[in-house]
Amino acid sequence: MRNHPIIINPSLLSADFLDLEKSVRDAASSGARMLHADVMDGVYVPNISFGFDIIEKIVSVSSVPVDVHMMTVAPWKYLDELKNAGAYSVTIHSDVGDVCTRRDALARIRSLGMRAAVALKPAHPAGDVADVIDLCDMILVMTVEPGFGGQKFMEDMIPKIRDVKRIAAQAGVDVSVQVDGGINADNIGLCAAAGADNFVVGTAFFSAADKKERYGKLRAAAEKGASREARD
């Protein structure tokens, strides 16, 4: 049974950085119910993106919640800054720190009033979240290697979505399943049919001249996929 609504989540990494405020407002007015912001430290991934002052400015002009993906080696150092910046949810990776450190970080995220999530890089199996899933509101299945926009969707990650759903069910917890990486109208339905409900879309959203129309097409494709999951 699907317990979470379909959410199309535009990734600001693909936005127009010369007019970021317009990109934020356009995304929200298109119908999107969340915005995705990648924080990169140049260590966990080679690239560097934006910091907490930019997150705060994004939040200040956004009418929808901002979902922050921490591609950093020590995300727990910045949880208070994220809270102060207005982040709605914070995602850390399954391969940073040890299990105790990750559990402490996730508990701290929740104690600060934010939603807590863990991301799985392509090489990491769904089982890597088993020790922390009880502290998660969401699991992110990366469908590209983290750190770069515009990559091709990795279809062989789809079974991992089903594995995450199974692990959550076995643990008796209800988590949203997010996918991020190369998501477009051609593959979003495949992810939805596997059980994903939160779809981070970068280039395929922000490259559209008519973002409201593009949002509608993405959502319709996701809902069609979700209906296949329900029949299965």
Catalytic site positions: 38, 180
Helix or strand holding residue 120 (H, E): strand 115-120
- Nearest to 67, CA basis, from 87, 40, 50: 87
Cα 138 to the center of its chain, rounded Å: 8
How far apart CA 36 and CA 123 sit, in angstroms, is 22
Residue 4 — φ and ψ, nearest 5°?
-120, 140
- Nearest to 176, CA basis, from 112, 52, 64, 88: 88
Cα 165 to the center of its chain, rounded Å: 16
